A and B are shown apart, each in its own frame.
Chain A
Amino acid sequence: MTSSPGLHFKTYCMLLIMVVFAPLGNILLGKGMKNVGSIVFWAPSRLPHIISLVLTSGYIWLGVASLLIFFVAYMLILSWADFSYVQPASSIALLVVALLGYFYLGERISPLHWAGIGVICLGVFVVGNTPPRTTEVR
């Protein structure tokens, strides 16, 4: 493992971008798809109509843009940090999604659901204290 303060700073900056834009993208996609309505796969005749609704939804395009920003940050961080570090560490985004779902979309979240998200965040904390890289760079 090769670790330095600079490497950690770079890693945390990228993680911050990821935990902001991934939840934002998911919330926008969720709102957009709720407006489109339930997709029924056994009714192919409705698919062109659904695709046109998806392609003309501003929320979905904004969601895609947010997820693209997330994806670029994700690609960059994976060039130096372990996949098994980045993936769990970025799961703090799950808490942000739940908060946005609750406050912005008005979704009902049970106490057990919140407890589950809390345990996930605890898992994130544990993973976040491990070295970002365990393999040598080629």
Chain B
Amino acid sequence: MREAILLFLVVASGTGGEICVTRAMKYVGEVTDFRPLALVRFIFQAMKVPWMWIGVSMMALAFFSLLAVLSIENVSFVVPVTALNYAAGALGGKFFLGERVTPRRWTGVLLVCLGVTLVWLGKR
């Protein structure tokens, strides 16, 4: 039960955070200059977008949940199970970010979910 709650937090909070960070990065615009100073300036620019802070906070919660679950479960079990966020991510990308998720991409996402199920069953 404890593992399930922690894994839920890792997946839900992690995916929510990533979607918020994506929204912030799309707002800032595409990176075209890869010089270190330009990258630092770009990161500071991204930090001015509120979505970035919401995203980073949610990702921090996911990170501490990950630390907690890693103290009780193997890495090779925890990390593949957290791939469940691919399904949540595709849904979030489609409905929250307005991305066009093609049937081929949906097929890939479904395969990822099937793989996660096998990993979970393989632990039993």
Contacts and interface: CB of A to CB of B under 8 A. Distances in A.
Interface in A1-34: 23, 26-27, 29-30, 33-34
B70 A33 contact: yes
A101 B115 contact: no
Interface residues of A, number: 66
A56 interface: no
Given A75-B46, A84-B93, A117-B115, A112 B122 contact: yes
Interface in A82-102: 82-85, 87-88, 91, 93-94, 97-98, 100-102
Chain A, interface SS category? helix
B77 to A, nearest CB: 8
Nearest to A27: B75
A27 B100 CA distance: 34
Contacts of B120: 116
Q: Which of B29, B76, B93, B112 counts the most chain A CB atoms within 10 A?
A: B76
B89 A88 contact: yes
Contacts of B25: 75, 78-79
Nearest to B79: A97
Contact of B100 (A37, A72, A107, A134): A134
Given A83-B93, A110-B122, 4 more contacts: A29-B70, A84-B105, A94-B80, A119-B112
Interface of A: 23, 26-27, 29-30, 33-34, 36-39, 41, 54, 60, 67, 72, 74-76, 78-80, 82-85, 87-88, 91, 93-94, 97-98, 100-102, 105, 107-131, 134-135, 137-138
